[in-house]
Structure 1
Amino acid sequence: MDEFWVFGYGSLMWNPGFRFEEKRTARAFGYRRSLCVHSWVHRGTEHRPGLVLGLDYGGSCIGTAFRVASSEKADVIDYLRERELVTRVYKERTMPVQLADGRRVPALAYVTDRSHAQYAGALTAAQAAATVAGAVGKSGPNREYVLNTLAHLKEMGIRDHWLEEVAAMLEAGGGMSARA
């Protein structure tokens, strides 16, 4: 039986937006979670971009794998393409992920396109906080996205020291006047 899995590493972990039959902690190898994508739609605009997470090359990433019923597969793929491929800053990939129980399964994931104009690359925590602070898109404030994602990571027992530093700056009001 072919199973259909989706791998989430950012907002998909806490707001998948689709029905699933099973949810498991999983790790993707060869990619890391990175706040490296300028958001022009969901958490910012072209004139005041925010930042969202992407899977960027290097390391590994612990996230959430969702098993979707075969009967829901086409609808879930359509939904995810509408959500994740709005500006084509992500590439849709099927990649192996390792579930917490040791099984390896293929999962649909969205990987950052480094050649895209929205790729932010490596930023300092201060640069990221300045970008996130005050940015708002059709899905809400960028600050909310970062803090919700970090809270979910903590619930899962995942430490992301760099993202924690960005959040601390946001909570302290940092970055507001540093906007370019």
Structure 2
Amino acid sequence: MTRNATALKLTPELVAKTLRVVEDQGPEPNQTPISPAQLDALVSRIEAEADGDIWVFAYGSLMWNPGFTVSESEPALAYGWHRAFSLRIERLRATSAAPGLMLALRQGGSCAGRILKLPSETQRADLRTLLAREIRYAEVSDMVRWVPVRTSSGTRRVLTFWASARQCPLTESIRLEEAAVLIAQACGPAGSCAEYLHRTVCDLAKRNILDRNLWRLQEMVAARLTALPA
């Protein structure tokens, strides 16, 4: 069963209701920005663990905005993980006054996405840029890990983000009803959470990836935004 992007309830017109100019408020509360030295150490550790080419499992924004030139890509399925809006944020696409949610990988189920290969000639530079984007704070430097995924060519060991073997205080199981409220309200200097949800679900639909929870979530967010004054 697949979904077509044109059947989305969450439309660009509804997303536009959530967009506004928001000033950057600095780092997330109670979080320490990762230092250049810590970032370099993380890059070196991952390169040593990789033992060659580095592939990254994309399940959210990395699918539609990888931030580097992808040398190879193919569909992949990660067993034992599922995507969920369970990462609470007060910056980027949210504020302290109107917090929001971003996608994370949580344990259980399965997750269809894509694996992206970092170009060998720029691997270290691209890896550093990618880590700086995904691991912004020292407190979450362990929230990058290797996971096995299944592809048409077999099982591959790949890098992914926000997949901790232990419970992280930043991520939690959140009911869809609460998630819809947070996503509908949140906007920051990088855009709104509704925009992020819309772009992700559109991309999944174009790739014939059905994520029932996200499809239901976009319907719920759309209903909340529809009820707002024009």
> How would you bin the TM-score normalised by the shorter chain?
0.7 to 0.9
Identical columns (%):
31
Using a 3 Å threshold, how does the CA distance of structure 1 residues 118 and 137 change in structure 2: closer, same or farther?
A: farther
Map of 1:167 onto structure 2: 218
Matched, 1:31 2:81: yes
Out of 133, 141, 146, the position equivalent to 2:192 is: 141
For residues 121-177 of structure 1, the C-alpha deviation after alignment (integer angstroms, 9 at most, x for no partner) is: 222222111011121123211100011101111111111122111111222225989
Does the 8 Å contact 1:133/1:175 carry over to 2?
A: no
Counterpart-to-counterpart distance in 1, 2:174 and 2:107:
15
Q: CA RMSD in A?
A: 2.2
Provide structure 2 residue ranges, at least 5 long, that are not aligned to the other structure. 1-50
Using a 3 Å threshold, how does the CA distance of structure 1 residues 174 and 127 change in structure 2: closer, same or farther?
A: farther
| Structure of higher CA gyration radius | 2
Counterpart-to-counterpart distance in 2, 1:132 and 1:175:
14
Counterpart-to-counterpart distance in 2, 1:163 and 1:154:
11
For the residue of structure 2 that corresponds to 1:143, the secondary structure is: helix
Give me the TM-score of the superposition, normalised by structure 2.
0.69
Name the stretch that deviates more: 106-115 or 63-72: 106-115
For the residue of structure 1 that corresponds to 2:113, the secondary structure is: strand
Point out the structure with the larger strand share: 1
How far apart are 1:111 and its partner, in Å?
2.6
Out of 128, 131, 138, the position equivalent to 1:81 is: 131
Give me the TM-score of the superposition, normalised by structure 1.
0.86
Counterpart-to-counterpart distance in 2, 1:14 and 1:31:
20
Name the stretch that deviates more: 142-151 or 38-47: 38-47
Out of 118, 140, 147, the position equivalent to 2:170 is: 118
- More contact order relative to length (CA 8 Å, sep ≥ 6): 2
Q: How many residues align?
A: 175
